[in-house]
Structure formats: C-alpha cells, structure tokens
Homo-oligomer: A and B are copies of this chain.
Amino acid sequence: MSTPKLSTRPLKGTRDFYPEDMRLRNWFFGKIREALELCAFEEYNGPMLEPLEIYAAKSGVELASEQTYNFTDRGGRELSIRPEMTPTVARMVAARINELTFPLRWYSVQNFYRYERPQRGRLREFWQINADIFGSDSYEADFEIISVAINLLRIFGADESMFRVHINNRRLFGDVIASVAKTDAEGVKAISKVIDRREKIERVEYENELRMLGLGDAEITKIDSLYSMSLDEIISLCPDSKGAAELGELFRTLEATGLSKYCVFDFGIIRGLDYYTGTVFEVFDLAPENNRAMFGGGRYDNLVGLFVERNDISGVGFGLGDVTLENFLRTHNLIPDLGGRTLVLVTRFDDVPYEKYTAILSNLRNAGIAAMIFFGSKKLGKQLEYASKAGCTHAIIMGAGELAGGVVKIKDLGTREEQVVEYSRIAKYFGK
C-alpha cells in the first residue's frame, strides 16, 4: 500500500474527454461534418507524425522548431508531431497530383500539438477542422470558403449579432503599401512586418521602425489613414491591382447573396506573412466578453510546389479549433441539452435464468434502443438506484411471475411510474 502513486492529471495543456465532454465534441464536430459533406467537401486524414522538414520548408527551421514537438526517432529521422494540417495536405495532394480531379474540396478533423504556454483558448493539444479548396484561382473559390465558414456558425444558430468576418486581400495590401511607401516587394515585406505588429508595440517604436525602413512622416500618416478607409477608397489607391479586382468581386458577391451582413472589409487583417497570397479573413466573436478572432484562413499559393514541380495548384481554406468554437457556442448560449436519449437497464432476479434477461437485452438493442443489464445479484432497490445514477431512463423488471405471464414491468425512472407490458411489445413501448 506504500507504492507512490502516479499523477492522475493529464499532461499540461492537454485534456481528458470524459463521456460528457466527448458528447459535446461529437455533437459540434458531427454537425460541422454533416454541413461540410452537404457542401461537397470530402474527409481525408494524415499521420500524426511527419518529417520536421515539411514544416521547416513552409515556415523556416526557426519557426518550425519554436512551438513544435520535435524529436529524433530510432532511425535517426527528425520528426514533428503535426502542429498544423497544411503541409500534410499539400504533400498528399502532390503525391497524387496526376490522378486527382481539381478543384478538390477536402476537409479533416484532427488533433494537433503546439508547445505553447497554456492560456484561455490556447492549449498544447487541440482539435481542428481544416477545410480547403485546391486548384482554383477564382475569387469564387474564396467566396465559397468564406460562405462555408459563415454557414458553419449559422448551423448552430449564430446570427450577425454574434460574429463578423473581417476580410482583406494580401495582393491589394501589398500594392497599396508599395504605392504609399514607393517601394518594391522586398520593401513591402519589411514594412508589413512592422505594420503587422502595429497593435502590439509602442507607437514610438512603431514609428522608429518604419523610419529605419526609409519612411517619412507623410508616409506614416498616410499608412495610418488607410485603416479608416472604406474598401472603395482603398481600391481607388490601386485601381489596377489584381487584388482590388478580387476583393471587389468578392464583396459584390457577398452583397448579392445576402452574406455581406456577416462581413466587413478590414485592412488590418494580414495573417501569416510568408504564407498567404490573396484573400485573407478572420472571424471575430462579437460578444464583449469574448471579443477576439476565433479562426481564419485565406488563399495560399505554391505549397504543393514544395513537393512536386508544379506552381499552378493554389489553395484557399480555413482552420477552426475546438476550443474557440466551444467558447463561442457557450458565450452565446448555443449549446442545447445533449442528453435525452433512452437508456434501459434490464434488472434481474436470481430465480430467473440469466439468458431470459440477455434475450430482452438483445431484443432492445436490435430494435435500436440502448440497453444494458445489471451485473451481479443485488436487491431490486439497489439495481434501480444504480440505474438512476448511471443515467438510465427506464428499467425493465421481470420476476418469475412476470416471466410465467409473458410480461415485464417497465419503470419510467423519471416519473417513477410502472407499466406492465407484454413481452412482445417491449420495443413498441419505446416507440420502435
């Protein structure tokens, strides 16, 4: 009795899903799966472990090492526990590039690991839905992805008072910055890195960094003014930008399809600097107590090109995590009562053969009614007590007398009422 006991707690940043937690996760992921299948997305899955190099090739070794669980296996391979899905799916698309029919519409629901400081909304193990369209350059694919993202919140009953999709375009963003700062692509990249941290650093630091990149007061003021401009005003700065055309068409279509009430143009949305190339978006929770970006996505080019000699397969997609989704649903009271299914306990007496009870059990299960049998021999009162504690809605009671009469008693554990039911009509009692 003196062996020291092991900790019962899950690793920091990971979670145990007890049946009630799992019921919730299965419910919301189930609804999302169903909605994505109706939108003609097909589910795929990849391995939990990948070579570190596929993350390094996408994000650079430093970034890929920073928050990723990496280790060397017995064969000397440098491996990562996947921190995200995109490199895996790009690899899978590349592997069958000549057999697949594009555009592809794929989704997955999987767990990921990141070595982060655990905090509200951020855990080390999380689950994420990833949905992507590969092989269409059209703004229509961007529209489809954004409308699917909106739909995934609407199926839970969320409306425009609860969330807003902030949309920008990286091509337009780059062209506008280039024209304001009179610089080239390299210059835009350097400036963007500073601008991206605009809300996170002190104003004086922000201005200093921009000055070090050659910007004067006029340009800095001009950049400030971009953030209060309407989409039309921004577009008028670079009317010939391909990004202007894409974003214009996208907003026109959102308007025409009644989705614009969920959306807003936001020049401040940039997202992964080295990654996104066209439309980018982030979905914000509008609840004052939870006001934050819940998830986002956008268009990226050439990821498939890391694996094969092709540069014509671009992708557009998003990733939605279980923790943020659950926070959102809780904040807006969008989680219904998930109990409510029928669950029957078959109770037993010692003077009736056991197989008489297992026959009832099989009949219930075959009729589609969830059922279990009491193990061991205890007084009926104890068996009914267990039934209630274990979440059963009904108990079936059959003593020698009932058995002889071809009936059972069915007790409703909610109302405590008992009813005598013919043996052959048990399933009927439960509406089956």
Q: Which residues of A contact B (CB under 8 A)?
A: 1, 5-12, 14-19, 21-23, 25-26, 37-40, 42-51, 53-54, 57, 69, 71, 73-75, 77, 79, 81, 88, 91-92, 94-96, 101, 103, 105-106, 111, 113, 115, 125, 133, 136-138, 140-141, 144, 147, 253, 256-257, 306-309, 343, 353-355, 358-359, 365, 368-373, 375-376, 386, 389-390
Q: Which of B10, B40, B92, B343 contacts A370 (CB 8 A)?
A: B40
Name the residue of chain B whose CB is nearest to the CB of A139: B375
A209 to chain B minimum Cβ distance, whole angstroms, is: 30
Q: How many copies does the complex hold?
A: 2
Q: Which of B46, B133, B372 contacts A10 (CB 8 A)?
A: B46
Are A74 and B40 in contact, with the CB atoms below 8 A? no
Are B144 and A375 in contact, with the CB atoms below 8 A? yes
Residues of B within 8 A of A92 (CB): 8, 16, 18
A71 to chain B minimum Cβ distance, whole angstroms, is: 4
Are B354 and A38 in contact, with the CB atoms below 8 A? no
Are A390 and B101 in contact, with the CB atoms below 8 A? yes
A7, A17, A47, A49: most-surrounded residue (chain B CB, <10 A): A47
Are A48 and B111 in contact, with the CB atoms below 8 A? yes
Q: Which of B96, B103, B106 contacts A375 (CB 8 A)?
A: B103
Are B37 and A370 in contact, with the CB atoms below 8 A? yes
Are A94 and B39 in contact, with the CB atoms below 8 A? no
A403 to chain B minimum Cβ distance, whole angstroms, is: 15
Q: Which of B42, B91, B253 contacts A22 (CB 8 A)?
A: B42
Secondary structure of the A contact surface, majority rule: mixed
Q: A71-B71, A257-B358, A355-B256 are in contact. Are A8 and B95 (CB under 8 A)?
A: yes
Residues of B within 8 A of A21 (CB): 44-45
A40, A54, A386: most-surrounded residue (chain B CB, <10 A): A40
Q: Which of B17, B23, B25, B54 contacts A6 (CB 8 A)?
A: B54
Are A256 and B371 in contact, with the CB atoms below 8 A? no
